[in-house]
């Protein structure tokens, strides 16, 4: 996968996350930011997204070769992927 393809994937994920946050903020404008973020995560999970505290390849067995799929500047701290 080249950098352009990686950037497109990151941009698509950004759009999905932003839309989920906007929906939650519109529905719960008086909630604190942490509560809004938690609701956005639940909404994304309900849509089939998987959010993990580490990149998915970190869960692979140690003998499995795992390549970084995105440059560090677009790799989020939490991995997010569609089901």
Residues for the chain: how many in total?
A: 83
**Residue 24: which domain range?**
3-82
72 contacts: CB under 8 Å, gap ≥ 6? none
pLDDT of residue 60: 59
**Both tokens assigned to 58:** 């970190």
The number of distinct structural domains making up the chain is 1
The alpha-carbon radius of gyration of the chain (Å, integer) is 15
pLDDT of residue 66: 57
pLDDT of residue 76: 46
Q: CA distances (Å), 59 to each of 24, 26, 47, 78, in order?
A: 30, 35, 23, 13
Confidence of residue 78 (pLDDT cuts 50, 70, 90): very low
Q: Rounded distance, CA 70 to CA 1, Å?
A: 9
The pTM is what? 0.57
């Amino acid at each position: 996968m080249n950098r352009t393809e990686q950037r497109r994937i990151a941009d698509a994920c950004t759009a999905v996350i932003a839309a989920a946050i906007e929906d939650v903020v519109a529905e719960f404008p008086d909630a604190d930011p942490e509560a809004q973020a938690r609701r956005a995560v639940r909404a994304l999970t309900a849509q089939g997204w998987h959010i993990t505290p580490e990149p998915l390849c970190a869960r692979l067995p140690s003998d499995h070769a795992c390549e970084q799929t995105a440059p560090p500047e677009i790799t989020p701290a939490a991995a997010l992927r569609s089901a």
